[in-house]
């Protein structure tokens, strides 16, 4: 992994250079989840690694990716080599890129059918746990906790209004730091 790659402008080398860069990125992300340093991770961690690489496959595509990575002998563990092979292809072909952030604002507006500019807690829970790829109780809880920072201070404590315009900034803030 420590092999040095010097960028060269001409075609084939450049492609190799890009692949090398992608693989370094994958190695770092993988290593963070490889707690006992055995060049393997728990299969349960794979969705998190993939999401953390700024990729948003559907749940079905996620399953396909994991199936592709699985090793016959032990399906609880994903090995580094398999992970990198599958994910290099994903990154090289720029698959599963998230939609841009304007769309997420629009999406939030769409769900605000009465154009109120805010959601109640119940609105949010209903939207996130009954449609699409529902959040489970734990995820929902975390989401509400994050949202609690974006409550209209003038709204009543028992019926807080979540100002989603500001919540978007929270969801996208991670990107601006990189």
Partner 1 sequence: MKESKQISTSSYNLRRNSCCFKSIASCFRSNSVDTDASEKDLTKSDSRTKEDSFSNCNIEPKKFENSLRKESDKIPSCSETSLKTDIALKSALLIQRWYRRYQSRIEMRKLTAWNIYQTIEYSGEQDQLKLYDFFLTLIKNSAIINHSNELINIKSDHSESLLLENQSIENGHLVGANSAFVNKVLESDLEYQKISKNNSRNYLNKRKNTEINIESSYKGMHINLPITKNIFYDLIENFKQNKPLHAKYVILILEETVKALKKLKNINVVSTNVSKNITVIGDLHGQLDDLMLIFYKNGLPSEDNPYIFNGDFVDRGFKSIEVSLIIFCGFLMSQTAVYINRGNHEDHVMNTRYGFIKEICNKYNSQSKKICVLYNEIFSWLPLATLIDTKIYVVHGGISDRTLIKDIYKIKREKYVSVLKPPILNDDGDIIKDLCLEDVLEWRQVLDALWSDPKKTPGIQPNSFRGGGCLFGEDITTEVMKKNNLNLIIRSHECKESGYEYIHGNKILTIFSASNYYEYGSNNGAYCKITSGDTKPVIVQFYLTKGEDITKSLSLRERVNGIEVSAIKHLLEKFAANKKRLLSEYKLKDKENKGSISLNDWCRITGDILELKLPWRILRARLAKLDKDGHVLYESTFEGLSFPQIKNKGDENISESLYRHKDILESIFRAIDKDHSGQISKTEFRDCCKLINHHDPTAMFSDSSIEDMANTMDLDKDGFINLNEFLEAFRLASEKV
Q: Which of 8, 81, 103, 165 binds partner 1 (CB under 8 A)?
A: 103
What residues numbered 141-170 form the site for partner 1, per CB under 8 A?
Answer: 142-143, 145-146, 148-149, 170
Q: Which of 48, 92, 116, 117 binds partner 1 (CB under 8 A)?
A: 48
61 binds partner 1 (CB under 8 A): yes
The stretch near partner 1 (CB under 8 A) out of 8-16, 84-92, 99-107, 151-159 is 99-107
What residues numbered 17-46 form the site for partner 1, per CB under 8 A?
Answer: 24-25, 28-29, 31-33, 35-46
Asked if 30 and 53 touch (Cβ cutoff 8 Å), the reply is no
116 binds partner 1 (CB under 8 A): no
């Amino acid at each position: 992994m420590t092999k040095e790659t010097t960028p060269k402008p001409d075609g084939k080398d450049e492609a190799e250079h890009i692949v090398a860069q992608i693989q370094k990125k994958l190695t770092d992300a993988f290593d963070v989840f490889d707690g006992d340093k055995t060049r393997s991770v728990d299969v349960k961690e794979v969705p998190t690694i993939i999401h953390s690489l700024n990729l948003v496959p559907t749940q079905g595509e996620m399953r396909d990716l994991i199936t592709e990575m699985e090793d016959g002998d032990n399906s609880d563990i994903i090995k580094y080599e398999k992970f990198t092979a599958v994910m290099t292809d994903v990154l090289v072909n720029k698959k599963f890129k998230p939609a841009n952030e304007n769309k997420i604002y629009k999406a939030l507006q769409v769900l605000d059918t009465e154009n109120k500019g805010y959601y109640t807690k119940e609105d949010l829970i209903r939207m996130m746990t009954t449609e699409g790829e529902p959040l489970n109780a734990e995820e929902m809880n975390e989401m509400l906790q994050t949202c609690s920072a974006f409550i209209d201070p003038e709204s009543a404590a028992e019926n807080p209004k979540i100002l989603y315009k500001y919540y978007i900034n929270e969801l996208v803030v991670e990107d601006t730091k990189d």
